[in-house]
Amino acid sequence: MPKLVAHQADTQSKLMEGWQLKILMLSWEYPPNIVGGLSKHVSSLAVQLAKLGHEIHVLTAGNRHLPSFEEINGVKVHRVTPLNYQDDCFLSWIGGLNLAMAFKAESLVKEFTFDLIHAHDWLVGAAALVLKDVLSIPLLSTIHATEHGRNNGIYTEMQKFIHEKERDLIIGSDQLIVCSQYMKEQLLTVFQATEENIIIIPNGVEPPETFLKIEDWIPKLKNKKYIFSIGRMVKEKGFETIIEAAALAKEQGFDYTFIIAGKGPMLDTFRRVTVERGLENHVSFIGYITEEQKNALISGCMAAVFPSLYEPFGIVALETLIQGKPTIVANTGGLKGIIKHLQTGLLMNPGDEKSLLEQIHFLSKHLHIANQIGAKGMEMVESLYRWNRIAADTSRVMEDTVLNSRIKER
């Protein structure tokens, strides 16, 4: 048997038996350092991959309060401090983070031999591309969102810079993962990516393990019907639509209460607008909450709403669906791929407060149907979006990427 064929057969045999890979995963955020949804995605995936037998090393940003290394739930977490960690310019800070990551990885390879690099978004792209060349191993990248999608185009110098960094990572990766068909179409049209290099694997979710009683935290919400939302306080999440819907409901004589959690640059603006519109008793922007507090708010709500103008996937919608809550999402991006209207949830027109209010009215008037929608949504999430299934699909992509790389080498 020729050497190449023999090697391919031997490698394929190892994969079929369950190949245990050593994976270097790069992410700018990782618990307990949480900025957005990426942190939870990476940690959930890393833990499940470790349970499958892979050796996972996560390289991420640290600070003076966190250890430079610790093992969490079977995942080896290495934290680095950006070379210019005190720089107020975000792009300079990211540049310093990538340099620190590259230096740390070069020291790690003296102790470990990695099979694959897995990068998450452009924020770690520079380090990922350098390490791909230095270590001569394949690069798998998950593209969670794009600057073009967030802004519906590229208009400023900063947006152009990020857009080009995204392009570099997409072109330089051996394999790409996106979370929805919507994101795949973006990569094909905006970046002219190669279709066969893109795999769709959705985000995942797990049922909450512990519950905080809402009355022990916010007594006034005991037995109170309220609508819950959560997300980063930025324009693309569409929270202005909730404010407008609350104002319209008040005008029409409906007493709906909205509880909105999350932090971000527009939090103070949303709070100020709520006061200016006289909606303090109808809309509450409560800021950052813990995981346990989030689960308590989901558990106690009558419904959840995510009115995003741009949303590559929408992992928060899975978190409300898995608790059986009727969930209203904007008919856009990855959200519309999760929900079937009036079956597993409800769809609203993006940026349309009248459409949002129409869905809320429906749920309020048809409680039995609302409960059925919640139950069907939970059943759907349980069968399709649990993290063990997502990790198994990702593991197969990782194994194929390593296999294809080794075959090409020979």
Domains 3-204+387-409 and 214-384 share a fold: yes
> What single letter denotes the amino acid at residue 376?
K
Q: How far is CA 344 from the centre of its chain?
A: 21
Residue ranges of the domains in the chain? 3-204+387-409, 214-384
> What single letter denotes the amino acid at residue 388?
N
Check residue 18 and give its pLDDT.
61
Check residue 246 and give its pLDDT.
97
d(CA 348, CA 244): 14
| Cα maximum dimension of the chain | 81
Low-confidence ranges of the chain (pLDDT < 50): 1-16
Give all strands of the β-sheet with 327-330 in edge-to-edge order: 283-287, 258-261, 227-230, 303-306, 327-330, 346-348
CATH topology of domain 3-204+387-409: Rossmann fold (3.40.50)
Give all strands of the β-sheet with 198-200 in edge-to-edge order: 69-72, 75-80, 55-61, 22-26, 116-120, 139-142, 175-178, 198-200
- Give the 3-state secondary structure of residue 2: coil
Evaluate the CA torsion angle 305, 306, 309, 313 in order and state its sign.
negative
pLDDT tens-digit series, residues 245-254: 999 999 999 9
Position of tokens 């819950």?
Answer: 228
Is cis: bond before 32, omega within 30 of 0? Answer: yes
Reply yes or no on domain 214-384 having CATH 3.40.50.2000.
yes
* Structure token pair of residue 410: 């020979």
Check residue 409 and give its pLDDT.
79
* Structure token pair of residue 125: 């792209």
Position of tokens 């990922």?
Answer: 128
d(CA 29, CA 290): 16
- Say what the pTM is: 0.84
